[in-house]
Structure 1
Amino acid sequence: MNFRLITLLSLLSVTTFFACDDDDQGPSINVPDTYEFSRNNESSVSFSGQTDRILMGEELIAAMKDFSFTAQQLQDMYTNPDGVDPFANADLNASTKSIQSKVAASVDYFSTNTVAAATIKEDFTNWLNAQVSEVFPANQQLATAGTPGQIADGSSVRYVNAQGLEYNQMVNKSLIGALMMDQMLNNYLSTAVLDEASNRTENDNETTVEGESYTNMEHKWDEAYGYLYGLSANPAEPNLTIGDDDNFLNEYVGRVASDPDFMTIADDIYEAFKLGRAAIVAGDYKLRDEQAAIIRDQVSKVIAVRGVYYLQQGKKALETTPVAYGGVFHDLSEAYGFIYSLQFSRRGDAQTPYFDNSEVQAFLTDLLGDGTNGLWDVTPATIDAISTAIATAFGFEVAEAAE
């Protein structure tokens, strides 16, 4: 269907029509009730590459908690090299995709900053190696200040390095920023990517990618969508199960939306994705970019809220008597990953993160810097200082995110 030829809104219609332009006389836009778009009776939505990478991430994080894995096996899951089958899922082994290739790889942030990109990619390599070289050999000993090992956290057991950090939590939460958020906000929703080469002209003329039902611009937008909803039980209506579909961005959009202080955030993100995709179909690129800005701000806020949440949960565990160090370390390791992810955040109206790499590194240095043993020595004052700095930048109160 050509959605550029739209008539007046019927009150009985199940579809929303949206007219926009500076004078509200621009193209009329057909906004479907769900994220379903088609051409010639065939779905024009595709994001299989994003689904693959999320599944690869799921297997990698699970393997980091399996003491039978070698460092090389973890690295192979990160890089998916030719001639190696690192995954239990045969379809992933057959894929040409990898996690590493899309870590810190956005056009807007890293196309001219290859040194920073290489450093970030190496962070993950180092954390994977350290899990095997530091934590795995110590899994049967009790962790103490300056010594890796296991530590109780209620009915759970955590495995930490000498500073009290859980590498598996760091990798998990840092991938949310370095892979999912960076690719979504700074690559596929980038004007440079959406409007690359002749994309606008081809989209205006409904010129599809050879052998496919979508235009290149439509596909780029859908790939951004896939990094959040790629494993959704129903990708057309993903908020029905938001928070339950993966252990990455989807989970934490759901977690934040369950907080009454941020209860609309999942709907805000989904509706912006839906309206932006409809705007592309209609050729309204101003509206498209407005929706991209909403997504950037709201997804970035998810990371900030969860970072502050885990900082404050760690502080709460730190203030128990006796100190519940297992809870402290688990929560602050998650906070570490979310703080690391803030360098991939994006202000909706600018091509800059809320915190750049140097500011993020300063937070992480402070978190580990109250003594020689990292999280064993962290103080409530340090936790509160970092929490306040993050919350202030995003315009919410620490108390709103803390519970």
Structure 2
Amino acid sequence: MNKVFLSLIFTTILLASCSDDSDNGPSIDNPETYSFERNGQSTVSFTGQTTRIQMAEELISAMMDFSTSEALQLEMYRNETADGGDANPYSDPALNADSKNIKSKVAASRDFFFTNTSTSSIIKADFEEWISGQANEVFPNENTVAAPGIAGQIADGSSTRFVNSKGLEYNQLVAKSLIGALMADQMLNNYLGTAVLDEADNRASNDSELLEDGTNYTTMEHKWDEAYGYLYGTSADKTNPNASIGSDDSFLNKYIGRAENDNDFAGIADEIFEAFKLGRAAIVARDYTIRDQQAQIIREKISEVIAIRALHYLQAGKNALPDARDNTALYGSAFHGLSEGYGFIYSLQFTRQPGTDLPYFTHSEVNAMLEKLMGDGDNGLWDVEPTTLDELSEEIVAKFQFTIDQAAN
């Protein structure tokens, strides 16, 4: 029986049990949608997460706009001149006026980076290096045909890809690595962690419904909602987001939709949404055991999605290589898949093994995998061997409960 289906059965039983009165604590009122109110007004707020997703969307679009300068792209990442500054990097005036930025929340979770600022700084700098590489290496070669050791354009069916001298698409590295470094890290290792949810007197304040100044929510409610926002912050219907899952952003939302559309993983979108909803309802009911159980489900499932997509793109790249070896004009498809795979491998360091304080893969383990991916020759992806891609796939899948074939479909 499908693993996801079994998990859905468990979740259904748990939801049913939570709707009944119990001698162990208050009943949990779990609504059908992510709708929570106090005195007739919504208590849900995650505007900051919506803003950062929108900023990230504009950044990855700018990385394919050859008229955009390196300075402007870096400013989209840093947003150092907000609140009336001269740069105005975004097309949306509301984003230009906002003091939030992407960089400050990259590799910035309480659980993983509060005492590991050196690694955080390295990761933040990786994104700046990729952004600068696109402007300084790829943009000048817009009309140059890419070749081993030469950045430029390369065909991929009806599309044109733009790669560096080693075959990597910098825009894909940024987009897919933000899924881990921004969305997953803030969700799994920050807002859903007890260090944030239960910080200071958050439990006592939640128990007594002490609201943050000028708001209609408790601090704990808001922290959980902020985790929710990194997945559903730009959803068409933020209370019922799975109606359009996969089409609401270019990041985590998109790839949960991709996993959901794979028969091997159908149901995973509902598992994640139901865990978010029940966890939020448990906070209202002051049932912190149920809350923490749902956080563990979210950690497991989001981590699975990142691993599934890493494997999918490694195998897609491998499958495209034989034709590319015979016809170098076909390298675009292989390099596109492998660039996406690079970003998802990078994102594995921000995953979280449920019930632990550990990622599925450490920063050093991820770096070793990426070095292996690029290390079959001096020219990176131009030299990569199918056996290397299979070895990397085996290394990843060993940590999870699905197969390479399932992820590759």
Q: How many angstroms apart in 2 are the aligned matches of 1:24 and 1:350? A: 30
Give the residue type in structure 2 aligned to 1:119.
I
Q: What is the DSSP-based 3-state SS (H/G/I as helix, E as strand, rest coil) of the residue aligned with 1:98?
A: coil
Q: How many angstroms apart in 1 are the aligned matches of 2:59 and 2:314? A: 25
Out of 356, 380, 387, which is 2:386 matched to?
Answer: 380
2:211 matched residue in structure 1: 208
Contact 1:16–1:31, Cα closer than 8 Å, also in 2: no
Q: How many angstroms apart in 1 are the aligned matches of 2:263 and 2:355? A: 26
1:223 matched residue in structure 2: 226
Give the residue type in structure 2 aligned to 1:229.
Y
1:344 matched residue in structure 2: 350
List per-residue Cα deviations over 1:36-57 (Å, max 9, x = no partner).
Answer: 0000100000000000000000
Give the residue type in structure 1 aligned to 2:149.
G
Contact 1:209–1:216, Cα closer than 8 Å, also in 2: yes
1:266 deviation in Å? 0.5
1:64 aligns with 2:63: yes
Q: How many angstroms apart in 1 are the aligned matches of 2:405 and 2:110? A: 36
Q: Which runs of 4+ in 1 moved over 3 A?
A: none
Q: How many angstroms apart in 2 are the aligned matches of 1:218 and 1:17? A: 22
List per-residue Cα deviations over 1:42-96 (Å, max 9, x = no partner).
Answer: 0000000000000000000000000011110001000111213111101111111
List per-residue Cα deviations over 1:15-49 (Å, max 9, x = no partner).
Answer: 9671689x873221000000000001000000000
1:369 deviation in Å? 0.4
Contact 1:16–1:33, Cα closer than 8 Å, also in 2: no
Contact 2:318–2:386, Cα closer than 8 Å, also in 1: yes
Q: How many angstroms apart in 2 are the aligned matches of 1:382 and 1:30? A: 50
List per-residue Cα deviations over 1:141-185 (Å, max 9, x = no partner).
Answer: 100011101000011000000000000000000000000000000
1:319 aligns with 2:325: no
Contact 2:19–2:30, Cα closer than 8 Å, also in 1: no
Q: How many angstroms apart in 1 are the aligned matches of 2:30 and 2:254? A: 26
Q: How many angstroms apart in 1 are the aligned matches of 2:401 and 2:382? A: 30
2:5 matched residue in structure 1: none
1:80 matched residue in structure 2: 79
1:130 matched residue in structure 2: 133
Contact 1:346–1:352, Cα closer than 8 Å, also in 2: yes
2:396 matched residue in structure 1: 390
2:193 matched residue in structure 1: 190
Out of 97, 108, 112, which is 1:109 matched to?
Answer: 112
2:293 matched residue in structure 1: 290
Q: How many angstroms apart in 2 are the aligned matches of 1:376 and 1:258? A: 31
RMSD between aligned residues: 1.4
2:243 matched residue in structure 1: 240
2:408 matched residue in structure 1: 402
Contact 1:104–1:179, Cα closer than 8 Å, also in 2: yes
1:5 matched residue in structure 2: none
Q: How many angstroms apart in 1 are the aligned matches of 2:25 and 2:42? A: 26
List per-residue Cα deviations over 1:89-142 (Å, max 9, x = no partner).
Answer: 011111111000100000000000000000000000111011011000011010
1:391 deviation in Å? 1.1
Q: What is the DSSP-based 3-state SS (H/G/I as helix, E as strand, rest coil) of the residue aligned with 1:159?
A: strand
Q: Which 5+ residue runs of structure 2 have no aligned equivalent?
A: 1-14
Map residues 230-309 of structure 1 onto 2, 5 A cutoff: 230-309=233-312
1:330 matched residue in structure 2: 336
1:18 matched residue in structure 2: 18
1:35 aligns with 2:34: yes
Contact 1:345–1:354, Cα closer than 8 Å, also in 2: yes
Q: What is the DSSP-based 3-state SS (H/G/I as helix, E as strand, rest coil) of the residue aligned with 1:158?
A: strand
Map residues 168-179 of structure 1 onto 2, 5 A cutoff: 168-179=171-182
1:319 deviation in Å? 2.1
> Which structure's residues are more often helix, by fraction?
2
Out of 150, 154, 157, which is 1:154 matched to?
Answer: 157
Q: How many angstroms apart in 2 are the aligned matches of 1:32 and 1:377? A: 53
List per-residue Cα deviations over 1:356-391 (Å, max 9, x = no partner).
Answer: 001100110000001110000001100001111111
Give the residue type in structure 2 aligned to 1:107.
R
Q: How many angstroms apart in 1 are the aligned matches of 2:152 and 2:160? A: 10
Give the residue type in structure 2 aligned to 1:344.
F
1:394 deviation in Å? 1.3
Q: How many angstroms apart in 2 are the aligned matches of 1:363 and 1:127? A: 18
Q: TM-score under structure 2 normalisation?
A: 0.93
Q: How many angstroms apart in 1 are the aligned matches of 2:248 and 2:338? A: 24
Contact 1:310–1:332, Cα closer than 8 Å, also in 2: yes
Contact 1:17–1:30, Cα closer than 8 Å, also in 2: no
Q: What is the DSSP-based 3-state SS (H/G/I as helix, E as strand, rest coil) of the residue aligned with 2:154?
A: strand
Q: What is the DSSP-based 3-state SS (H/G/I as helix, E as strand, rest coil) of the residue aligned with 1:389?
A: helix
Q: How many angstroms apart in 1 are the aligned matches of 2:91 and 2:383? A: 40
Q: TM-score under structure 1 normalisation?
A: 0.94
